[in-house]
Structure formats: C-alpha cells, structure tokens
Structure 1
Amino acid sequence: MQLTSDPARREVTPLELFFDLVYVFAIGQLSHRLLVHPTWTGAAQAVVLYLAVYAAWAYTTWAVTLVPAENPRTQRMLLGVMFAGLFMNAAIPRAFGDAGWVFVATFLLIHIGRTIWLLTVGLDRINQEHFVRVLIWFVAAAPLWLTGAAVDRDARLAWWAAATLVELVGTWAGHPLPGRRLDSQQVAFAGGHLLERGRLFMIIAFGEAVMTTGTALTTAPYEPMTLLTSSVALAGTVALFWLFFNRSEHIIHHYERTEDPIRAGRSGVLSLMASVAGMIAAAAGDERVIAHPMEHAGLTTNLLLFGGPALYIGAQTWHGATLFDAVSPPRLVALSALVAGCAVTTAAPAYLSALVAAAIVVALAVYEDRRQPGGARTKPIPPR
C-alpha cells in the first residue's frame, strides 16, 4: 500500500505530546549547560548539542506528518525514538566528557533508523526518492560524529561541528545529489499538522523559560531587586510568546492554501530551530540577571539578553519573508534596537540591560497587537 500525506489539517495526538516530553528535559539540560559553561567554547558546544537534539525531534515530527500517528507502525516508531531520545538527552551534560559515545550512538540510531523505517512504509514516489537521498546525507555525516566521539573533548567539538554543518546544509538545500533534487510542488503534505507541532514545541521552550525564571526566583533572596528582575524576565517572555502566536493565523492559512507545502514546512522547521535557540539563550540570560542583578552585564550576559530575542525575532521575520511578499519594518527596527542596546549597555548593571532588552520586545509586541490582524499586510507570493 502506498502512503501519501493527507493535506487536511489533523489533530495532534496524545502520543505526539507524550513524545515531546523527552524534549522538555532536553531543553532544560541545554539551558543549564549554557549557564554552567558561559564561555565561547561552552556556547559552541551547546549549539552543536542543540542542533543534534532539534534534528532528532524535527525529522521525527516530519516522519509523523507523512505517516500519521494513528498508524500502529508510527506509534511503535515514536516510542522507539522516545526511548533512545531519553538516553541521548540524559548524556547532554557529559557529552563532551565520558558520555560522548552514548550521545552519538543514540543520535545515529534515531537519525538513521527512523529514515530506514520511512523507506519501508510505502511512501509516494517523490518522498521515497527524497528520503533515499536523506539517508545518503545522514550516512555521509556519520563518520564525523563517530570520529568526534573517539577523540578528546577539545577535538570533539571540531568534528561534531563539521557533522552538524553537513546536516544543516542538507536540510537547507533539500538533500540534493548530482542530477537529483526535490521538486516539491503539488506534493500532498499535511503542512498544517507540521505547523501545529511546531507551535506546540515552541510552548515547550516557553515552559522551560518560565521554569527557569521560577527556579531562579526561588533561590534568590526576596528583595525588591529580585522581584524587579523576575518581573522583567516574565514580561519579556510573555512578549515573545505574543509575537509568535499573535501573528500565526495568517501563516496557518498560507500552509493550507500553498501549492508547495513542503517548501513552506522546511522553512518553518529552520525558523523554529533558530527561534527555540533564541528562547534558550534569553532564559539563560534572565537567570544570570536574577542571580546577580547588580554586577556589570558584560558581553556574555548581553549576548544572551539581547542576542536571544534578536535570534528569535529574526528567524520568524525570515520565515515570513519566505512565505509573503513583505518584511515587517517594525521588526527590523526592533532588531536594530536590540543590536544597539547590546552594544551600549555592556558596562551597565545587569538589571538595566535586562530592562532595556525587555522594553524593546514588549514595545514591539504592543505595537503589533494594535495593528491586528498580525502585523504587516502581507500577501502570498507564488510558489517557486
């Protein structure tokens, strides 16, 4: 029997939400790791681990969009990936130590095993050919992952960064091979379901941000400065939440009408990857400020406080530009303000940097809320 992805919008099943719980744990691990290792090397390690974790989630979610979760075979696959994913995510704190092999073995088992599974379920011809190419790209990157696990921690980062770069290029380009690439127009694909899964994954990131703020609040002394910095952190988180969900209905409509939902879905997956990374960075910055509000912010704290929201807003602005024939000028202004704020407040107290960053994000959210429905008047562009 040949499977095709029904383009009709489907409900997200409880099993898919259960699967996502493993990644609540992962995001918490990554955020904590970034706080424990606030250096350039530590940040690079966190980025490499995050991209691997996100790839495991994103490609599994794409597979479930192709083969619905109501299918018993899909249910077994999801549970298997969830089981392996728990061990992969538990290895995050020691992935650049004695748990490198655990992280790599479970990651490759998920990545390659799930792709082989997809090739056995009876996809339509275009998707079948595409996932053969995906498998080739994954297998090509595997020696880099394995070599990284075999060397010491200093060299490991370089090998794993190279493997991550191969996978990112493949995802960005649609996993081409000489003379063969994906022509996704008019291919049936449940883009609305994929978008809904992305929205739910973003809620996971917001949940982690709120938990991070709450945890920092419980360990800090109950003083006026603690209450101020916690309030600023929560206000910024709420504003980022509003910026994502208050503008999403017209994107949902585009996913339902477009002639190339796979292209739109790939753009959405890449945008979500950067947006969640921005949320993790912003949450880590808020925790640093709550713990040490009167210290000079410095470059590290400012990159988290301003760079996290900038990455978050910039990714969504790019995604909107790929779908609609317009870029939101207010978002470009906000991005410029975040860059300027990061530069001019490095010598200021940390609480003041947090206040400036939150004020920029809140101002953008209030402005867009008053321009309902959802920011710039945009119109769909013809599929490429």
Structure 2
Amino acid sequence: MAHPEQTTAERRASWTELFFDLVAVAGIGQLTHLLHRGPSLGEFGLYALLYLAFWVVWACVTVYSNVAGEQARTTLVFGCMFGLCVMMAAVDGMPEDHANVFAAIYVVVRIASSSAWGRGQVVVDWPIAQIGSGTLPWLVSLWVPAPGKFVLWGVGLAIDLWVMFTVDAERLMLDAQRRVRSRLRRRRPGPPRPPRRPPPRLRMLHAEPGHLGERLGQYLIIVLGEGVISVIAAVSVEEWTVPVAVIGVCAFLCLLGMWG
C-alpha cells in the first residue's frame, strides 16, 4: 500500500486514472438527456440523484487507487469503468426504462470497489469503503416500481453522505476491532486448536492528500470543460437573440465562478 509520507512530486495521476476520470465525466455529460424536456422538478431531482451516484462511484474507485498506489489492480479499475459505461447507456431511457440496470450496476461497482481491500485494512478517510449500508436501498429498489424506486436511491445516497461526514477514524477502528472480537467469540466450543486463518491484524490506511487533491482538481476541470461544451451546443441550435446571448454569457460566467 502507498504510504502517507509520499509527496505530490513522487505521485502523479496515472494514465489509467485520467482515463477513468474522463469516463466518469462523460457519464455526467450524459445526464443532460434528462433536462431536454423542461426540466420539471422531478427531472431535476432525478438529475441530482444520478449525478451523486456517478460521483460516489468515481470517488470510491479514486480513493482505492489513491491508497493502493502502484498495487492498485488495473483490472478492477477497468471493470468499474465498464460499469460506468453501462450506467451511462442506461441514462438515456430513464425514468421509464433501464432504471433497474442502472441500480444493479451501481450496486455491483460499489461492492467490487469495497471488497478490493484486504483483511484487516481500514480506510479511515473513506468510511463507506467499510460501511456499505447505503447500497441496501439500491438493492431493494430493484423490486420497487417508480417513483418509489428513485426515493430509495435518494435514501441510499443520503446514508452514504451521512456516513462520510459523521463517521470518524476512531469510530471506524473501534467497529473493526469489535467485528474481529465477535468473530473470535463465534468459534465452536471445544478443545483449543490452531485456527485455520489467524485473526486479521488491523491496519489504518490514509489517503494521500496531494494526489487526491490533484485528482479532484482534474475531475472538476474536466466537468467544467464538459459544461462549456454543453453551453455551446445548446446556444448553437437556438436563434441568436438577446435573451439567448445573455443566458450563454451568464452560463459561461457561472462556470468561471465554479473554477475560481
């Protein structure tokens, strides 16, 4: 595993990580399909839900590659990238079609990215790597029709956000130690014998702030670039009136403000 003392100069975003960032941002660009018909309040809410879903998947894989460093499994990153592509393809048919496909792939990618950590490894800077309860509403939503399906998605994302902002490193380590002790107590009674697998030795893993900051910055820059492309595409098909020009200029200034 990568060590926290590595500096940004020693660790830069790899080509694989940049490729993954581009695919994630392309998924966010695909969400504009939801806004072509209005948007209504419901469509805007669905846009926010799907945006957060793409961001959580991106962040899970980003933190994994950040902490694992050179030991990160390329096959896992590319597998999650393929999952993102399937989620992107499912966006075009929503809310009527493909919602179950989107939810199922989301759950698979979340489980795959969380199971990548070895026994006893606790990523204290990303608690949802260990606490995956936010995926349960997504799983249940596979058997629930809309609009209840999307309500469950929102509940799952709300749980993840609550875990991210309220669970600290000390609590994570205490919970991990409690689970280890619980497994030891559940062993069959009888004469002592050596265990087939020794209990895991807990390791506290931290993200590298420099590298993670670089990834977040690159992600934001690509998102802003996608925003510029979307504004240009929208303005180019309209009649160039004063209101359209004002909206175009204001959208560009809004993107500049986000960059600032």
TM-score by length of 2: 0.77
Q: Report the counterpart of residue 122 of structure 2 in structure 1.
A: 128
1:158-209 Cα deviation digits (max 9, x unpaired): 2111111111111112375695389xxx965410100010001101221121
Q: Report the counterpart of residue 89 of structure 1 in structure 2.
A: 88
CA 1:229/1:181 → structure 2, altered by over 3 Å: closer, same or farther?
A: same
Matched, 1:180 2:175: yes
In structure 2, the residue corresponding to 1:117 is in which secondary structure?
A: coil
CA 1:36/1:223 → structure 2, altered by over 3 Å: closer, same or farther?
A: closer
In structure 1, the residue corresponding to 2:218 is in which secondary structure?
A: helix
1:82-122 Cα deviation digits (max 9, x unpaired): 111110122123343331221112111111111111226xx
Q: Report the counterpart of residue 150 of structure 1 in structure 2.
A: 143
Q: Report the counterpart of residue 210 of structure 2 in structure 1.
A: 192
Q: What CA distance in whole angstroms lies between the structure 2 residues aligned with 1:134 and 1:224?
A: 48
CA 1:136/1:37 → structure 2, altered by over 3 Å: closer, same or farther?
A: farther
1:109-149 Cα deviation digits (max 9, x unpaired): 111111111226xxxx6x537599745521x3333112212
Deviation at 1:11, TM superposition (A): 1.3
CA 1:153/1:221 → structure 2, altered by over 3 Å: closer, same or farther?
A: same
In structure 1, the residue corresponding to 2:239 is in which secondary structure?
A: coil
Match of 2:234 among 213, 216, 219: 216
Q: What CA distance in whole angstroms lies between the structure 2 residues aligned with 1:148 and 1:116?
A: 22
1:286-336 Cα deviation digits (max 9, x unpaired): xxxxxxxxxxxxxxxxxxxxxxxxxxxxxxxxxxxxxxxxxxxxxxxxxxx
**Structure 1 residues 30-109: aligned runs within 5 Å:** 30-36=31-37, 38-68=39-69, 70-71=70-71, 73-109=72-108
RMSD: 2.9
Deviation at 1:40, TM superposition (A): 2.4
Contact 1:7 1:188 in 2 (8 A): no
1:185-242 Cα deviation digits (max 9, x unpaired): x96541010001000110122112101111012101234543443233323322332x
Matched, 1:163 2:156: yes
Match of 1:141 among 134, 138, 141: 134
Q: What CA distance in whole angstroms lies between the structure 2 residues aligned with 1:200 and 1:15?
A: 13
Identity level (%): 23
Q: What CA distance in whole angstroms lies between the structure 1 residues aligned with 2:233 and 2:153?
A: 32
- Count of aligned residue pairs for this structure pair: 230
CA 1:192/1:129 → structure 2, altered by over 3 Å: closer, same or farther?
A: closer
CA 1:220/1:205 → structure 2, altered by over 3 Å: closer, same or farther?
A: same
Structure (1 or 2) with the greater helix fraction: 1
Contact 2:27 2:84 in 1 (8 A): no
TM-score by length of 1: 0.54
**Structure 1 residues 204-353: aligned runs within 5 Å:** 204-241=222-259, 243=260
Contact 1:142 1:163 in 2 (8 A): yes
Contact 2:63 2:126 in 1 (8 A): no
Q: What CA distance in whole angstroms lies between the structure 2 residues aligned with 1:102 and 1:19?
A: 21
Supply the AA of the counterpart residue of 2:57: A
CA 1:158/1:37 → structure 2, altered by over 3 Å: closer, same or farther?
A: farther
CA 1:110/1:5 → structure 2, altered by over 3 Å: closer, same or farther?
A: farther
Supply the AA of the counterpart residue of 2:68: V
Supply the AA of the counterpart residue of 1:58: A
CA 1:158/1:189 → structure 2, altered by over 3 Å: closer, same or farther?
A: closer
Contact 1:30 1:50 in 2 (8 A): yes
In structure 2, the residue corresponding to 1:97 is in which secondary structure?
A: coil
1:321-354 Cα deviation digits (max 9, x unpaired): xxxxxxxxxxxxxxxxxxxxxxxxxxxxxxxxxx
In structure 2, the residue corresponding to 1:118 is in which secondary structure?
A: coil
In structure 2, the residue corresponding to 1:91 is in which secondary structure?
A: helix
CA 1:229/1:159 → structure 2, altered by over 3 Å: closer, same or farther?
A: closer
Q: Report the counterpart of residue 188 of structure 2 in structure 1.
A: none
